[in-house]
Amino acid sequence: MEFCRRGAAMTEADQGPGAAAARFTGRPVTGERPGSGALTEVVLDGGRVVMVKRGDEPGSLRAEAAGLRWLADAGAVRVPAVHGHDEHWLVTDRVRPGRSGAEAAARFGRELASLHAAGAPAFGAPPPGGPEDAYIGLAPMRNVAGEDWPSWYGEHRVLPYVRRAVDDGTLRSTEATLFERVCERLPELAGPAEPPARLHGDLWNGNVLWGADGHAWLIDPAAHGGHRETDLAMLHLFGCPHLDRVLAGYQEAAPLADGWRDRIGLHQLFPLLVHTVLFGGGYAGQALASARAALAA
């Protein structure tokens, strides 16, 4: 009787990755392989493998699932199919690993340009069905629509993280004024106006998987409407295999505005400040250096 009572009271969070995979795929589970962090590979009856991710931040998996579906709807870059999610578990297809190469990188560049060109309703627009209060990694990220990129970027992608870093003691208030000056000058620093692009939003190398099919696959998005140069700036920040070929493919499909290389540091302020909030002072120095470089341009 005690066992039955415990089973009846078991919550979705307690069921484990195998139970979540079975529930969302409708298939029996034959095995589990713990992965890194919150990920588990689950083997279904018949041999198919799915990835099960545990998440405990309210709304985080809803935002991720909505982002994956929105990116997939563009029909551009490969994205793992979402089988289902709740407040604690997200189940997606597993990407069969392959190797990066110059041809695959150029193809990824063209596909990324196509993804961006699919557009968004506004800067800061969340994916359909996604919450305004989303996440980038473990950091909160608000998806609030803005009319133009410079004012929206300053208000919702730079200053919130500057304030939190000051509150945490990672940045001094005197250093915060440097970022405030950048935000004041964003209209002149931002380059030619562009329409909102459909962004992955957290496009560092770890979220680009090179598949056995010869394509790049995108995972773990912080998807929203933004400036296309932001995704490219993040690829520059943390590196990407054959980045020169990725950029060549991108330029072939959708040439970037003049001066885009000079604006890389401006777009890197967002991920650098997020990392400052999450991981501390080393990233604060990089963010400050990027802010100084932007003001000197």
Q: Tens digit of pLDDT per residue, the chain (297 long)?
A: 222 333 434 455 568 999 999 999 999 999 999 988 899 999 999 999 999 999 989 999 999 999 999 999 999 999 999 999 999 999 999 999 999 999 999 999 999 999 999 999 999 999 999 999 999 999 999 999 999 999 999 999 999 999 999 999 999 999 999 999 999 999 999 999 999 999 999 999 999 999 999 999 999 999 999 999 999 999 999 899 999 999 999 999 999 999 999 999 999 999 999 999 999 878 999 999 999 999 997
Over its C-alpha atoms, the chain yields an Rg (Å, rounded) of: 20
List beta partners, residue 52: 40, 91
Tokens of residue 227, six digits = 């400036």
* b/e per residue 165-185 (b: at least 16 CB within 10 A): bbeeebbeeebeebbeebbeb
Q: How far apart are CA 273 and CA 230, in angstroms?
A: 14
Q: Identify the pLDDT of residue 12.
A: 57
Distance separating the N- and C-terminal Cα atoms of the chain: 72
C-alpha angle 55-91-11 in degrees, rounded to nearest 5: 55
Integer Cα distance of 52 and 12 in angstroms: 13
Helix 228-238 and helix 264-279: axis angle, to 10°?
A: 60
Q: Which of 75, 38, 65, 206 is nearest to 127 (CA)?
A: 65
Rounded to two decimals, the pTM is 0.93
Residue 11: burial class (beta carbons within 10 Å; 0-12, 13-18, 19+): exposed
Task: Report the pLDDT value the prediction gives residue 14, as an integer from 0 to 100.
Answer: 60
Within 10 A of 147 (CB to CB), how many other CB atoms are there?
9
- Residues marked active site are found at 202
- Which residues pair with residue 92 across a beta bridge? 51, 82
- CA distances to 15, 224, 230 from 86, rounded to whole Å, are 12, 21, 30
H or E stretch at 265: helix 264-279
Q: Would you say 276 and 283 are in contact if contact means Cβ atoms under 8 Å apart?
A: yes
Give the pLDDT score at 227.
98
